[in-house]
Structure 1
C-alpha cells in the first residue's frame, strides 16, 4: 500500500491483478463485455472505425460473430466461476476463450468491440502468469456425472431418432433440425414449428418419450447443479465456509485462534484494508464473521487441514492469538511446517512463554500484559509512552 495516497501503487495494482480475485474479476469483465458488444453488434451491424475491416468481413460473418460472441460471453462466465474455485479446468477453459473473444470482437467490426479485443488479449498473459494459483482438480460427484450422462443421452437419443423418423415429422430435414426438435421438446419450450404427423403413431410415441425423458434429465441436471449451491448456503448459515469460498483467499493475513486480542486485531486489519481469514475452534465465535462475509474455518488452528483450507500457502503473514500459550506453540509449529517462509507473529502471557514461542518458530512475540505494564508506568511518570513501545518491540 502507498502510505502517501492510501491506495495501491502501480506495482501493487499489477500484483493484485495476478491474484485469484484479480484474475477472476478480469475474466468476468471480459465475459460481460463479450455479451454487451455482441448485443450491440447484432442491433447496429458493422461499423469499422479502424480500416477496411468492415467491408472485408461478410455481413453473415459479422452477424454470426455477434451471436457466437454472446455464447462465448456466457461460457466465460461459467469458466470464471470455475476459476473462483481454483480449478485447473477453469483456467484452461478461460485461456482458450480469451483469444476467441478477441477474434469475435474483431469480426464484429464495431467501435464498441475494441475494449473487448484489448482486454481479452491482456487477459492471456495475466492467466499465464497466475496459472500456479489454479491447481485444484475437477471432482464431480456420482450424481453430477449421472446427470450429465442422462442429459447427453437424451439429446443423442432424440437427435438420432428424430432424424431417422424425419419423413414422419413436419419440419425435420437435417440432423440440426432433429437436434433442435429434441432440445426444445425436452426443455418443454415447444415452439410448435416441428410436429409429428398425426397419422404416424410411431412419431407421436417417440415425441412423448423425448418429452418425458427430457424433462427428467433436465430436472436431474438442475438438481445436481443447484444442490451444491444450496448446501453451501446452509453451511454458511451454520457458520461454516465452503472450500469454494475459501479458494479465492490470496495475499491475506491468517489469524489463528479467537481470544481477547482477536477483535482489536480484526479492527486493525479492517482499518488497514487488508484481506484476512480466521481459524478458530470456537464455533460460536464464527457467527459474526460469517454474517460479515469474513472467511472463517471452525476448527483447531493447530491442525494442518484447517490451515490448508484457509490457504496458508498464499498467506502474507500469520497472527497467532489463541489465549493459550500451549495451543499457540502448536499452531506456530504447524504453520511453520506448512509455510517455512511466512512471517509469524504471536502473543504470549509472560516472558517465559515469549522465549518458548520464539523457539517454536515465531518471528516476533508480543506480551500484551508486559507491554501494558510498561506503558502504564511510563504514562504515569512522564506521559511519554512511545519510547518504551519502541524499546520493547526491539527487544521482542
Structure 2
C-alpha cells in the first residue's frame, strides 16, 4: 500500500496491526501508570504540572490502560464500539503520559500517537455491532444492581455501621464485602446491619458468579471451535493480506512449513478430522469445501494476497482455482499439478503459475544420470541450502 508515495507493508497498518497497537498501548499505559505512582517526576514538563495532577494521572493512567485492554479485545472481535472507544482513549493515554511529567511516559505518548492514524485507517474493518445476549444483559444488570443495592443500603443504615460516613465509605464496604476481602475497617453494629451485610455478600457473590459464567462461555466456545478445527467470526474478520491454502494433501505439508515462517495464511479443507489436527498444530483452519463460493468469501478471498492450491486431486484443485478466480480476478493463484497433462487445464481454470513436482523431479534425475549437474546440488540451490552452507563456512 502506498501512502503519500511511500510504500507501506499492509501488515503494519492492517486490522491485525490495529489490535496489536491497541494492546501494546494498554499494557504500556498500565505499566507507566504504576511506575509513575512512586517514581519522582523528572521530565521537562515537571515544573508546569501540579504535583496533585501528576499523582492523579498515575492512578488514572493505569485504569485507562485496563479500559484499553477491553477495547483491544473488542477490536479483536471486530466491534465498531471498540473502534470508537479506542479512538477516544488513545488521545487520553497520550495526554496522561504528558501530564505524568516523567521520562517513563515518553514511549506511551509516542506509541499512542503512532497508533491513532493506524486505527483511523481501519475504520471500515470494524463494523460489527455490539449485540448483547440476554445472559450478558442479565450479567450487567446483576452487577450494577448488586453494587447499587449494597451502596444505597449501607448508606441508609450508616448509623448502624462503624466507620460509614459517606457514599464513598458505603461503596467501599460493598466492594470489600462482595469480593470477600473483608478488611474489617467497617463493621455492622446491630443485628439489622449484620443481616443486611449477609444479604450484600450473597447478592454480590451471585452477581459475580453470573458475570464469570458469561465471560467464560465465549472462551470455552472458542476453545471448542479450535479443537474442532474451526475459526469464529471475529477471527475471520481480522484476516487481511493473507495466503489462502485451498485443500490439503501430501504436496501441501512442505508448503505450510514454509509459509509458517514467513506470513499469515489460512487453510480451507473439507475434512473435519484433518482440520482439527492442523488446528492443534497452531494453524488457522476453516472447515469447508475449497471450491464453494460462500466458503471462500468467508475466508476473505477479496483481501487475500495469493491463493495456493496443491493437493493430490487435480480435478478438485481445478474447481477450486476456477472459483477463486471468479471471486477475485486480480489475485495471484499458484498451483501444483500431480499429473503433467493437467498443467494446461489448471492454467485455463485461472491459475497464474502451475508447477508439476513429478515432472521437475524426473527432469532432475535424468540430468544427473546423463552426467549433468547433480540433482541434489540443484535442489539445494533452489531451497537456498547452498547459501546457508557457505555462510556456515
Normalised to the residue count of structure 1, the TM-score between the two structures is: 0.83
1:134 — aligned with what? Answer: 126
Q: Which of these residues, 175, 178, 194, is aligned with residue 204 of structure 1?
A: 194
1:296 — aligned with what? Answer: 285
**Does residue 178 in structure 1 map to residue 173 in structure 2?**
no
**Residue 57 and residue 268 in structure 1: after superposition, are their counterparts in 2 closer, same or farther (change >3 A)?**
closer
**Does residue 85 in structure 1 map to residue 74 in structure 2?**
no
1:35 — aligned with what? Answer: 30
**Does residue 218 in structure 1 map to residue 208 in structure 2?**
yes
Cα distance in 2 between the residues matched to 1:321 and 1:45: 61
- What do the CA deviations read for 1:71-112 (whole angstroms, capped 9, x no partner)? 111111221122223322222222211111111111111121
Paired residues for 1:227-246 under 5 Å: 227-246=217-236
Greater alpha carbon shift after TM alignment, 352-361 vs 137-146: 352-361
Cα distance in 2 between the residues matched to 1:130 and 1:186: 40
Paired residues for 1:1-396 under 5 Å: 11=7, 15-47=10-42, 49-50=43-44, 53-198=45-190, 201=192, 203-270=193-260, 273-350=262-339, 353-381=342-370, 383=372
Structure 1 unmatched ranges of 5 or more? 1-9, 390-396
Alpha-carbon distance, 1:299 to partner? 2.1
What is the root-mean-square deviation of aligned Cα atoms in Å?
Answer: 2.9
**Residue 333 and residue 165 in structure 1: after superposition, are their counterparts in 2 closer, same or farther (change >3 A)?**
farther
CA contact (8 A) 2:161 2:189 kept: yes
Structure 2 unmatched ranges of 5 or more? 1-5, 380-393
CA contact (8 A) 1:45 1:63 kept: no
Cα distance in 2 between the residues matched to 1:122 and 1:17: 11
Cα distance in 2 between the residues matched to 1:334 and 1:196: 72
Alpha-carbon distance, 1:127 to partner? 0.9
Aligned length: 372
**Residue 304 and residue 89 in structure 1: after superposition, are their counterparts in 2 closer, same or farther (change >3 A)?**
farther
CA contact (8 A) 2:10 2:241 kept: no
Normalised to the residue count of structure 2, the TM-score between the two structures is: 0.84
